[in-house]
Chains A and B, each alone.
Chain A
Amino acid sequence: MAELLQFVSSGLTVGAIYALVALGFTLIYKASDIINFAQGEFVMLGGMTTVFATLAGVPLPLAALIAVVVTTAIGFALHRFAIEPARGASPVALIMITIGASIFLRGVAQIIFDRRFHSLPPLLGADPIRFGGAAILPQSLVVLAGATVIVTLLWLFIDRTLLGKAVIATAANRLAARLTGIDTRRVVDFSFAVSAAIGAVAGILITPIALTSYDAGTLLALKGFAAAMLGGIGSAAGAVIGGLLIGLIEAFAAGYLSSNYKDAVAFLIILVVLISIPQGLFGRAKVERV
């Protein structure tokens, strides 16, 4: 029982991060039909920038803020300078651009930061909380709380604000959105920026637990993407549920089967989902009209 709780807690914690990454994917995909592989790098940049800012003497809260701002700017720049110029290219070409951006950001991080693992001090102290025989890190609760706040804020934004409606409109039909006066380029800029911000916050939250390094982004992107696919790409609720599910499956696989193949879980899920239910759990299947 204790073991089960342990797995559930660690699974949900890391699953919350996957959920945030998946949410970032979904937001960008909804607004622009693009799969952004640099999403993982946003998470990495959030963590790494905060670490190095604190190492340079900046107090933690300010460092975190700087990290979020910097990452948001990078997200914006990614859209403006890498994606926008290539608008009209095939979906695969666009994915390649984001993959190129992801590798580029990794490479730059390697140079500007370093190649070591880094951590951040946990928000609520490091002593594990004993619960039903399991040891739960306080930071886990911070992560889950943070993720919940972000998801709620995002939902409120999409549902209650005009800009949020504009995002939905752009996602539904770009041309129609433009015809009603929506500046779709700004909308997509915005979705990239927000996705980057979400990623950065996720990175800051998880670093105390999972550490961070210049190449932490790639695996995160893949798992976040698996989560988005599992939930149904284009469905925000699906992204969250998908993320939590993958986190849980991973934790159980690592615990009961083999910890070596932990990462393979996400890859396997990608394949299985795409082969059997490409639209995911909550997505809608597309009909091709000739």
Chain B
Amino acid sequence: MRALLQTRLMPAIAVAVLVTILPLSFSSAYYYRIGVLVFIFALAVVGLNLLMGFAGQVSLGHAGFLGIGAYSVAIGPVHLGAPSWLCLFGGAVLSGAIAFLVGRPILRLKGHYLAVATLGLGLLLATVLTNEARWTGGPDGMSVPGLKLFGWSVRGATAWYWIAGATFVCGFVLAFNLMESPTGRALQAIHDSEIAALVLGIDVARKKLAIFVISAVYASVAGSFLALFNGYITPDAAGFLRSIELVAMVVLGGMGSIVGSLVGAIVLVVLPQVLTIFHDYEQALLGLVVMVFMIFLRRGIVPSIAAAFAGRR
């Protein structure tokens, strides 16, 4: 039993179990729906966490990639007649390609220069999505045809719960694997001391670019799911506020904590739902949460709890 508890993949198994048994407590489709949204955002956040918490880079424009994934499964089927699942892959490839092209020059930057460059990138992507109304439906967005897998229409919160949940667990496991691998160690090294990493033979530029591309792909897949699930997409999905929400989820849950990604997503997806009466206060609350966490709880929820436990022992 002990050996089982200590397997490397214990957190992943725990999460998979959680995902599986949670619906037992669901009393209506509403809860499934929340679950879907949580998994979608948690997926994007895991990717962003690999970039920010792990490799120590920053992206304030990550929703841009979310938007690309989302609009790929909208534009593809509607304007090009391509099947949704193919467009999902296409979106991921496109996101990866953009991340590759733009990442090469901007990842040379550090600190606030990198932050602003990624901000600019995200805004540029959002602007294109807003303006090319002929393709994207403009600021009002466009409707997204449902996903058809092997002739079966994927519809309803329940079906999407399992799809999003399974995909999230996969993304989770991949990220976990990466942490315990040569690439993962190299990325953490880059975070702690780029110069030492260089001097040990790590191709820093290439590693940073790789993780940037990977995190873009995570966001793109999440975005595609979001669009397919909701049946509709607007440019807000790629906007500045959305990018900041993603970063807030990373910070809340704990930078560098893969489990924290889920926690952060849960908090920032569930909270607005719970506070629907406070809808007008949403922005003010988001701003406040970001400020409070960045000032007082920079480590995030999961690492803080873990540290508290470690201290107590």
Report B-chain residues with C-beta under 8 Å of the C-beta of A92: 58, 111-112, 115
Q: Which residues of A contact B248 (CB under 8 A)?
A: 100
Q: Which residues of A contact B289 (CB under 8 A)?
A: 100
- CB pair B284–A107 under 8 Å, yes or no, is yes
B195 touches A290 (CB 8 A): yes
Q: Does A173 contact B (CB under 8 A)?
A: no
A106 touches B117 (CB 8 A): no
Cβ-defined contact, A270 with B115, below 8 A: no
Which residues does chain A contribute within 8 Å of B286, judged by CB atoms? 100, 103-104, 107
Other-chain residue from B60, B127, B295 in contact with A85 (beta carbon distance below 8 A): B295
Partner pick for A96 among B251, B285, B296, CB 8 A cutoff: B251
Is chain A's binding surface mostly helix, strand, loop or mixed?
helix
The answer to whether A270 and B282 have CB atoms under 8 Å apart is no
Contact between A271 and B294, CB atoms less than 8 A apart: no
Q: Is A110 an interface residue (CB 8 A)?
A: yes
Taking the closest CB of chain B, its distance from the CB of A195, in whole angstroms, is 17
> A271 is contacted by which of B106, B131, B195, B251 (Cβ under 8 Å)?
B106
Residues on the A chain within 8 Å of B102, using CB: 271
Contact B117 A93 (CB under 8 A): no
Residues of A within 8 A of B298 (CB): 86, 89, 93
**Residues in B neighbouring A175, C-beta threshold 8 A:** none
The verdict on A111 contacting B113 (CB below 8 Å), with A82-B291, A96-B290, A103-B287 known, is no
Q: CB-CB < 8 A to A270: which residues of B?
A: 116-117, 119-120
B154 within 8 A of A: no
B244 at the interface (CB under 8 A from A): yes
B296 partner residues in chain A, CB cutoff 8 A: 85
Kindly provide the distance from the CB of A48 to the nearest chain B CB, expressed in whole angstroms.
15
Q: Contacts A91-B112, A93-B298 given: A268-B280 contact, CB under 8 Å?
A: no
Q: Which of B58, B251, B296 has the most CB of A within 10 A?
A: B58
Q: Are A86 and B287 in contact (CB under 8 A)?
A: no
B219-263, CB < 8 A from A? 240-241, 244, 247-248, 251
Once bound together, how far apart are the Cα atoms of A91 and B127, in whole Å? 27
Q: How large is the interface on A (under 10, 10 to 19, 20 to 34, 35 or more residues)?
A: 35 or more
The CB with the most chain B CB atoms within 10 A, among A85, A97, A226, is that of A97
Residues 96-127 of B contacting A (Cβ, < 8 Å): 102, 105-106, 109, 111-113, 115-117, 119-121, 123-124, 127
Whether A263 touches B121, Cβ cut-off 8 Å, given contacts A92-B112, A99-B290, A103-B244, is no
- Most A CB atoms within 10 A — which of B106, B111, B282, B295? B295
CB <8 Å contact, B282 and A100: no
Q: A99-B244, A111-B280, A274-B109 are in contact. Are A106 and B115 (CB under 8 A)?
A: no
Among residues 254 to 313 in chain B, which have CB atoms less than 8 Å away from a CB atom of chain A?
A: 280-291, 294-296, 298
A275 in contact with B117 (CB, 8 Å): yes
**Do B287 and A107 touch across chains, with their CB atoms under 8 A apart?**
yes
Name the B residues within 8 Å of A108 (CB-CB): 284
A100 to B293, CA, bound (A): 10
Q: Contact between A100 and B287 (Cβ–Cβ < 8 Å)? A: yes
Contact with B along A247-278 (1 / 0, CB 8 A): 00000000000101101100110110011001
Are the C-beta atoms of A105 and B240 separated by less than 8 Å?
no
- Which residue of chain B is the closest to A102 with respect to CB atoms? B287
Of the candidates A104, A264, A278, which one forms a contact with B288 in the assembled complex, judged by CB atoms under 8 Å apart?
A: A104
Within the complex, what minimum Cβ distance (angstroms) separates A188 from chain B? 16
The answer on a CB contact under 8 Å between A101 and B117 is no
Query: B290 contacts which of A91, A97, A278, A290 (Cβ < 8 Å)?
Result: A97
User: Is the Cβ of A104 less than 8 Å from the Cβ of B287?
Assistant: yes
Most central of B109, B113, B282 by chain A CB within 10 Å: B113
List, in ascending order, chain A residues with CB within 8 A of B123's CB: 222, 263-264, 267
Known A-B contacts A82-B291, A97-B291; A274 and B280 likewise in contact (beta carbons under 8 Å): no
Cβ contact within 8 Å between B105 and A275: yes
Q: How far does the Cβ of A241 sit from chain B's closest Cβ, in whole Å?
A: 19
On chain A, the residues within 8 Å of B280 by CB distance are 110-111
Residue with the highest number of chain A CB atoms closer than 10 Å, among B58, B119, B283, B296: B283
Docked pose: A264 CA to B123 CA in angstroms:
8
B interface residues with partner A (beta carbon < 8 Å):
58, 60, 102, 105-106, 109, 111-113, 115-117, 119-121, 123-124, 127-128, 131, 195, 240-241, 244, 247-248, 251, 280-291, 294-296, 298
